[in-house]
Amino acid sequence: GPENFIPKPKVISSVIEIKPKKKSFFIYDKIDKLLKVSFKQRRKTIKNNLKFITPELEKKMVDCGINPQHRPQDISPEDYVKLSNFLIY
């Protein structure tokens, strides 16, 4: 609190500790490649941005629990990690 300082500040400060909820394993190069391709044309659906990666893209996306009709900005970071581990070799 302010009473612990000389001169006494006119603000109240706090210290917080932020801990991640869980650790995600991902390979940086894979996710970097996926994000660059996904956001190259961000108004397209994710399926259209990634269609050249594999012919079975839509099935693999559904298997990962990702809607192929979503736009890149609508997909969570956790889903990008799953998708990068599943799609990029």
58-75 pLDDT, tens digit each:
888 888 889 999 999 999
pLDDT-derived band at 89, boundaries 50, 70, 90: low
Rounded CA-CA distance 26/36 in Å is 16
pTM of the model: 0.66
Judged against a pLDDT cut of 70, whether residue 26 lies above it is answered with yes
Helix 77-87 to helix 28-38 angle (10° resolution) is: 110
% of residues, the chain, pLDDT over 90? 18
